[in-house]
Amino acid sequence: GIQVEQSPPDLILQEGANSTLRCNFSDSVNNLQWFHQNPWGQLINLFYIPSGTKQNGRLSATTVATERYSLLYISSSQTTDSGVYFCPNTNAGKSTFGDGTTLTVKP
Amino acid sequence: EAQVTQNPRYLITVTGKKLTVTCSQNMNHEYMSWYRQDPGLGLRQIYYSMNVEATDKGDVPEGYKVSRKEKRNFPLILESPSPNQTSLYFCASSLSAGVYNSPLHFGNGTRLTVT
């Protein structure tokens, strides 16, 4: 099946720092999204980004579908950015998640 | 408000006692799906449904049943729960799995404990 490899698995930052999270896919990128899972377990949709670049405030994402990877940029990180980040891809009904990147932002 | 509603949010049960976790969406979405999440792991797909009366197995379907008799509802049934089904469960929906620009919308999750 499709594999999603996320890196790094864990990331610890000081508040105000920038970071880049990456997802590599073993198959074609179709309905790709970035989610933030908050400490209460809720999955918060950040971007729907099967290709191209999008920005929303301090966050931006880029997907290069031809090379099967996606990047999430977090600038000026805040403690509320802490949590786990996922980049599932859904293809013909099958959804595949990686193991996530756990981000900890320290004050 | 457009949303995916799961119930209950928390459930503690005993081995072998049949249970149903409900999922309902009000966005007229064709596609619905169930996932489980275990500690330190990403979500794994249990079953999905491309439309009414069309369900398919995901990666971890053993021990689960689903039905899709109407568009808005997609219940997850555990006929004989076991402790290894203790997990956090999510339901999601999207306009259509086969259509471009069809993001997933998730419910808030159901935390199930089987003792």
Closest residue of A to B35, CA-based? A95
Q: Could you report the per-residue pLDDT of B14-63, keeping only the tens digit for each?
A: 999 999 999 999 999 999 999 999 988 889 999 999 999 999 999 999 99
Whether residues A41 and B94 touch (CB distance < 8 A) is answered with no
pLDDT value for B102: 83
Is residue B44 less than 8 Å (CB to CB) from chain A?
yes
What percent of chain A clears pLDDT 70, i.e. is strictly above it?
Answer: 99
Q: Could you report the per-residue pLDDT of B78-104, keeping only the tens digit for each?
A: 999 999 999 999 999 999 876 667 889
Of B43, B44, B103, Cβ closest to residue A31: B103
Read off the DSSP letter of residue A86: E
Peptide bond into B8 cis (omega under 30): yes
Q: Could you report the per-residue pLDDT of A29-52, keeping only the tens digit for each?
A: 888 999 999 989 999 999 999 999
State the Cα–Cα distance between residues A19 and A17, nearest whole angstrom: 7
Alpha carbon of A98: minimum distance to chain B alpha carbons (Å): 6
Which segments within B68-109 are labelled E, that is strand?
76-78, 87-94, 105-106
Provide the H-helix boundaries in chain B: none
Alpha carbon of B14: minimum distance to chain A alpha carbons (Å): 24
Q: Could you report the per-residue pLDDT of B49-85, keeping only the tens digit for each?
A: 999 999 999 999 999 999 999 999 999 999 999 999 9
